Structure 1
Amino acid sequence: MAVTKEQILAAADQIAAEGQRPTLEAIRQITGGSYTTISPVLNEWKAKQTSTAAPIREPAPQAVADRLAEVGAEVWSIALELANARLASEREALEKARADLEADRVEATELADRLAGQVDELQSRLASIEAAEAAARGEAGELREALTAMKERAATAEARAAELRTELDHAHQEGRQMRGERDQAQGVALERAEVIEKLRDELATARTTAEQSERRAAELRLELDRAHQDADKASQALADQQQASRAKAAELDQIKGELVKVQAKAEADQAAHQEQRKQMAQEAARQAERYTKAQADRDAARSDAAQAREDAARLAGQLQAHQEQAAALLARINPAESKPASTRKKGGE
């Protein structure tokens, strides 16, 4: 609400009645309003107060009157004129100072209005700044919370980074170990390649040996067949010898019986048949030689048969050993090639 002139004058009278000097700020505290509105009315009030003040015309004090009675009223009149002249010059100086002061006051009033506007603007800005500060404080709190969360996440990330660095170190160690194992495996592979090459050489040698063993086995089979034939012949001869031995044994038994009879007859007829006894003794000696020879022939036939059996068993053992050696070599080279060797073994048997 606008301030009226009467309100400003009443406020100035109130301040003057209280014994204080009316000022723009004092009146503004009572009525409100701007300095531009209050200043002209206050100047008008001050002008009225000055115009109502009369020149000093006081009667001389009694003491002065008594003492200046001799000088008279002329001296007093001169003094009053001097005082009035001095007062007039002072009033001129005062008017000039008042004009200067008025200009300064107008300038100060305008400056005060500008300052008041700036104060209002600053107060508005201050309110905005306070609101922004409150918002900033809220944001600062949120940022602090976010910063705390970020610090926690950073600590977690640091811990995870440490774990990852540890895992990376372990991975590097495992990589180095795996590279070492790879190099070792490559060395083993090279060694195995060399072993395979040697095994291939041994395979070729074994195949050659197997072929030689096969040829030797064929030869041994032929020898075994011949040995079997010889053994069959020896067995047949042994059977013949045994049959002959049995015949000779029967004949020998018969001869023994006859010899016993002859000896008995010779003993009975010893005296009478001395010559016949000698003949019978000679015949008995011949029969004994024939018996001894038959036993020797029988023992020789048995020895030949035993030797033939031993030769056949030895040849069969050699053939079996060669076949087993060939089968072992083939099984070492290739397990799948051991079946033909077994088949050949069965065929040889």
Structure 2
Amino acid sequence: MELNKDIRDRILSAADALYEQAGRTSFPTVDSVRKVAKVNMNDAAATMKEWRRAQTAQAAPVAITVPEAVHQLHSQALAALWQSAQNTANESLRAAQAGWEAERAEADTINKQLGDAYDAQGVELEAANRRIDELTAKCQHEQQRSTELVQHIEETRKATLVAENRAAIAEQRAVEIERRAADLRAELDLAHQDATQTRTELADLRQAQQEQRKTAAQEALRAAERLTATQAERDESRKEAAKAREETAHWRGQVEALKEQQMGFLEAIKTGKKPSRAGE
């Protein structure tokens, strides 16, 4: 495929400029020419081969003339002429070989430059890929942050609406509370009046309670006197009960003795013996 003339001219101009900047001491590299001309590596490499060949070529074509030895030795034998022709052919061959060696060295140089440029491009590509990954991650982060901000704005808007609704409700409640406070103040005034009346009634009630306490104290005193008398009667009754228990125990002993005596009489009657007296 034939190279575009504009691209080719840019490459040649860039190569000439870089060659002049180097003082015409060394050829510019393919990569440096590519960067200045802003073309791809394939176009730069192909055009640089042509440029290098142009720089190493002779300024004017070599004229093919009959060697001077042929003119001087025209009288010699055909062998001498043939020898001269061989020498000329050998010189042409050596010149061709030298040109081929130079072109091969140039090709090796270009290949090395292409390899170096490829490695450099690989490093640049890797750095560019890392940068792309960083920018992609940053873009995703910014998109996520943007989404979060949109959600936050929406939540803030909803919260604002809720706050406004609450403010309206609070204002209504404040009006209701104010009305209720007025009612409570009226009720409080009425309660104060009732409290005054209640205190008056309470004073009367306390007076009545004091009189009742006096009466109750008198009744308690009389009850205490009755209790004291009752306790005395109880103590006397206890004494009489103790005395009665003693007499009962005495009579119980007498009864037991009589029972034993009676049992002795019965036994004597059955056996025909004289009964013994109690205590013998």
Q: Report which of the two structures shows the higher radius of gyration computed on alpha carbons.
A: 1
Alignment TM-score > 0.5, same fold: no
TM-score (norm 1): 0.34
TM-score (norm 2): 0.41
